[in-house]
Amino acid sequence: MTAAPPVHPPPDTAPTPHGAYGLHATARITAESAGGATDLPLLDGDGPFSLRRLRSRGTQARVCVLNTMSAPHNGDRLHTEVTVGPGADLHVITAAATIALPGPVPVHATHDLTLRVADHARLHWLPEPLISAAGSDLRQRIRIDLAPTARLVLSEQQILGRPHEPPGRLSTRITLRRDGRTLLDQHNTYGPGAQGWDGPAVLAGNRATGQLLIIDPAYEDHPPEPHHLDTPPAQGVITPLPGPGVLLTAIAPDAGHLQHCLNAALRHLGHHTQ
């Protein structure tokens, strides 16, 4: 029996001077293996997050996150906590793109996600894109803790601005620990104030960027080769991490071409999202 691996240090929850004006909400999902199926003993929506259980597929429980308010606005403090217990299998999607929006207070918004997956458990985390609207300022922090035999398929897409508008400021940091060791720590910051973000070293005019992260103990013995995805105008590369996992890094002029590249990567890696 292996419990969920140790958690990261708690995120900084110090109140901001304007904290009283922002929305504070925490959504929680806990999945447990029970008799060849996956139960959801905790499915706790809050604030903008409304959680809907979808029809299970085999042993896999499926959850859809609905954003039933417009959130996040600047100043909001959002948390999402997902725990997948030993042997459980959970698939999470969102019903629509999340749009980061300006707000009444001059402070950034935060969304902290903590994803924990225990031994022999699996999490698919496949939300719709995150759109950074003009004037918004969102810091997203994704902390993932995997047990040694846990599996993960995660995708994230960032769209910088709605059509014909400049982007807001968007920062996304993904830290993935497996068996206590950090396999990936990646922080992307785009938009006003981020030096060189739109230049030839970083995005070069592209407005959509995404990651696909797959961790599977089977990669331990058979790590995939680096692979360039030829899906112009999108560009992407699949790279083996220093451990049993791969990362797709992709950029594209828009959300549609980015999706095309992500799908090509999933096909290349023999995964499907449904």
Partner 1 sequence: MSPVSLLILSDGRFPAGGHAHSGGAEAAIAAGRVHDTASLEEFCRGRLSTAGLVAAALAAAAASGHDPLLLDDAADARTPSPALRQVARRLGRQLMRAARAVWPSPDLDRLAAARPAGAHHPVVLGLVARTAGLSPQDAAQAAAYDSVCGPVNAAVRLLGLDPFQATAVLARLSGAIEHTAAQASEHAARLPVDGVDALPAASAPLLDITAEQHATWPVRLFAS
Binding site residues, partner 1, CB under 8 A = 8-9, 173, 175, 181-189, 194-197, 199-204, 209, 226, 228, 235-237, 239-242, 247, 249-251
Nearest approach, Cβ of 52 to partner 1 (angstroms)? 33
Task: Report the nearest approach of partner 1 to the CB of residue 199 (Å).
Answer: 4
Taking the complex as a whole, the smallest distance from the CB of residue 89 to partner 1 amounts, in Å, to 26
The nearest distance, CB 257 to partner 1, in angstroms, is 14
Q: Which is nearer to partner 1, 59 or 235 (CB)?
A: 235
Nearer to partner 1, 166 or 240 (CB): 240
Between CA 271 and CA 171 the distance in angstroms is 28
Angle among Cα 124, 54, 129 to the nearest 5 degrees reads 50
Nearer to partner 1, 11 or 45 (CB): 11
Q: Which is nearer to partner 1, 38 or 110 (CB)?
A: 110
Q: From the CB of 256, what's the least distance to partner 1, in Å? A: 18
By C-beta, is 69 or 241 nearer to partner 1?
241
